[in-house]
Amino acid sequence: MGQSYRDLIAWQKAMDFVMDIYRTTTAFPRDELYGLANQLRRAAVCIPANIAEGQARYSPSEFHSFLGRARGSLVEVETEILIARNLGYLSAEAGQQLLDKTSDLGRILNGLAGAVRPAA
């Protein structure tokens, strides 16, 4: 494969997204520090971590599998953003901005997964 995971647009966007999640969750209520805020952060971190780990594997099928895990973490984050918005921890605007980023990242992950899909 020659290229580093750090060269992947999906990884770069996922890293930016993690920073957005961390910045956003600092404004959550203090009693959510070990609850929803922590869960959101952990799930967000799993996205670029799975992209990186998958890219470091030796086979396209393993990379594809890790991209599926990254996608699973992404939809987990999306669900948690909706919960945070419903609880009033996020404004409608802030929630929508994060949801737009999850959609963009999802499209990028889907494209990458399609490009590395193992032959049937």
Residues of the chain with pLDDT under 50: 1
Res 33: pLDDT: 84
Gyration radius of the chain's alpha carbons: 15
The Cα 12–Cα 58 span in angstroms is: 21
**What residue spans define the domains of the chain?**
5-114
Q: What is the pLDDT of residues 12-32, one digit of tens each?
A: 999 999 999 999 999 999 999
Domain 5-114 sits in CATH 1.20.140.10:
no
Q: Give the per-residue pLDDT at 1.
A: 45
Spatial CA neighbour of 26 closest among 8, 41, 9, 46: 41
What confidence score (pLDDT) does residue 2 get? Answer: 59
pLDDT in tens, 31-41: 998 899 999 99
How many whole angstroms separate alpha carbon 27 and alpha carbon 33?
10
- Residue recorded with tokens 């996922």: 14
Its pTM stands at 0.94
